[in-house]
Amino acid sequence: MKFLFDLFPVILFFVAYKISGIFVATAVAIAASALQVAIFWLRHRRFEKMHLITLGLIAILGGATLIFQDAVFIKWKVTVVNWIFGLAFIGSSYIGKKSLAERMMGSSVTLGKGIWNHLNWSWGIFFITVGFINLYVAFYYGLDLDEKLREEIWVNFKLFGVMGLTFTFVIAQAFYMTRHIKEEPATEGSAEDTVTEQEGS
> Residues of 81-117 as b/e, b for ≥16 C-beta within 10 angstroms?
bbbbbbebbbebbeeeeebbbbebbeeebbbeeebbb
User: Whole-angstrom Cα distance, residue 180 to residue 152?
Assistant: 42
Domain encompassing residue 173: 80-180
Q: What is the mean pLDDT of each run of 10 residues along the chain (201 residues)?
A: 76 95 96 93 88 92 96 96 94 87 72 83 96 97 93 95 92 78 46 35 36
Whether 86 and 63 share a structural domain: no
Q: pLDDT (tens digit, 9 = 90+) per residue, 165-175?
A: 999 998 988 78
Is residue 112 included in any domain, yes or no? yes
Please give the DSSP secondary-structure letter assigned to residue 61. Answer: I
Whether 63 and 149 share a structural domain: no
> Residues with Cβ < 8 Å from 41, sequence gap 6 or more?
47
Q: pLDDT (tens digit, 9 = 90+) per residue, 126-162?
A: 999 999 999 999 999 999 999 999 999 999 999 999 9
Give, in degrees to the nearest 5, the angle at Cα 188 between 190 and 184.
70
Is residue 185 included in any domain, yes or no? no
Is residue 167 included in any domain, yes or no? yes
Is residue 195 included in any domain, yes or no? no
Domain count, the chain: 2
Say whether pTM exceeds 0.85: no
- Domain stop point among 44, 70, 96: 70
